A and B are shown apart, each in its own frame.
Chain A
Amino acid sequence: MKNRFIIRKVIFTAAFLLAFIFSGLSFYRSRHLKEPVVAGDGLLEVRKLSHYFPGLKGSLNDASVYILGKGDTGSADGAALVLGGSHAEEPAGRLAAWLLVENARLEKGRLFVILTANPSASTSTRPGGAYPPDYEISTPWGRQKFRQGDRWSNPLDQWPDPEVYIHYPSRQQLAYMDIRNQNRTWPGRPDGTMTEKTCYAMTQLIIKEKIDLVIDLHEAELQYPVISTIVAHQKGEDLAALASMMISGEEGFNIGVEYSPVALRGLSHREIGDHTQAIPLLLETPEPFLDATRGRTDRALLLTGKDEFVMKAGRHGLLFEKLDENGWPIDVRVGRHLSSIIQIFKVWTELHPERPILMENVPRYAEVISRGTGYYLKNPDLAPAGRLFYE
């Protein structure tokens, strides 16, 4: 009888160890996956966020800042900051930023790009969300793998959450988990949590580099009303409205404009405008993967944006954006972001000729759809010396 107990416990323990090792390895590999970046000719320099706020040094969120331009980094022309991966589970934003760093050339002005604005969030997936750990983009030279990520910083890097998150400096009470949400912790603070410190470092970058425009790239579920739109601080209302018209007229898709609510604190489109000289704009594309009524949450849904259950919600009038059998493929979403950025810079330069930002060699909406996102990703095996970086 005693032997039977022992044998059973040994079998259970072995099964447990198998599950622990298998899951642990999977989580470890996902957290430590290196994503190659082959910087294009337009790159001047790569800095770390701790360059602007040393308090972030040594932290996982000491993100890389890719500086693109012509000539020196202290040019008197205009300057823009593009943020990808504020919410790491919204891949079109990261991929659009990736294509900027690998392809863009600046004729005038400087472009600062952060591919992974919240690196910690890119190392985790949503508990209970059945998210895939990563996804792959097909390219002419093979497949490039990216981390899937989550909306919030990884609890391994910032834990525990408080009962209620009190935003700094407004003291507005927000949901507890949003203390790890990088789009609720602007403008940040130097002695705050890791997520707040990251926002503080980016705020310092914006101030010290005299950034004129900040474009925060996001994606949204179709059951959320703020979708397919530019969210603009009041300082950028004219710019966003003009860009929206230009995009609708020239790029082949429509994008709306929403104004940043004054009472909703912690968001980039509110706090950057209130606390720095820059005009913040936040771009949203549709991502059915994020909808609560989605079906199987796999890589295919992430990349094709096709889901019969979300479509059914649309037939019941529950969506704020159309969804048909064509879905919302990643190329469409990346292309929308890139064309929106191109048009925003164009309108900015027309409105502010003394602070021009002239960017070339970035694929537009129609080109990304025609050739695919992967066509514009460069082969890390063929990267010139000093041009290969990892996120």
Chain B
Amino acid sequence: MATFITLLYYLMVAFFAACFIWNFRRSKNWQSEVLYLIVLLPFLLRLFRLK
């Protein structure tokens, strides 16, 4: 059960990371772009099991 919940959390992290990348691509405001990238960093570190 715990493994299944962990897997769901990783899927959630992947989904939000994809959303941030998508929003970064579409954004035309430089401050929003920086914001999306800053928020993306911990999501990718978790997704790649680095932190």
Contacts and interface: CB of A to CB of B under 8 A. Distances in A.
A24 B48 CA distance: 9
Given A16-B40, A19-B41, A160 B33 contact: no
Query: Size band of the A side of the interface?
Result: 20 to 34
Interface stretch (A5-13, A34-42, A82-90, A102-110): A5-13
A156 interface: yes
Nearest to A8: B30
Contact of A160 (B9, B25, B37, B45): B9
Given A156-B49, A156-B51, A5 B5 contact: no
Contacts of B46: 155-156
A13 B2 CA distance: 35
Contacts, number: 44
B33 A12 contact: yes
Contacts of A27: 45, 50-51
A20 B46 CA distance: 11
A28 B50 contact: yes
Contacts of B25: 9
A162 to B, nearest CB: 10
B9 A20 contact: no
DSSP majority for the A interface?
A: helix
A259 B45 CA distance: 43
B41 A159 contact: no
A277 to B, nearest CB: 31
B33 A9 contact: yes
A349 interface: no
Interface string B12-36: 0000000000001100101001100
Interface in A123-158: 124, 155-156
Contacts of A156: 46, 49, 51
A5 B6 CA distance: 38
Nearest to A24: B50
Contacts of B33: 8-9, 12
Interface of B: 2, 5-6, 9, 24-25, 28, 30, 33-34, 37, 40-41, 44-46, 48-51
9 contacts: A13-B37, A15-B37, A16-B40, A23-B50, A28-B50, A124-B51, A155-B46, A159-B6, A193-B2
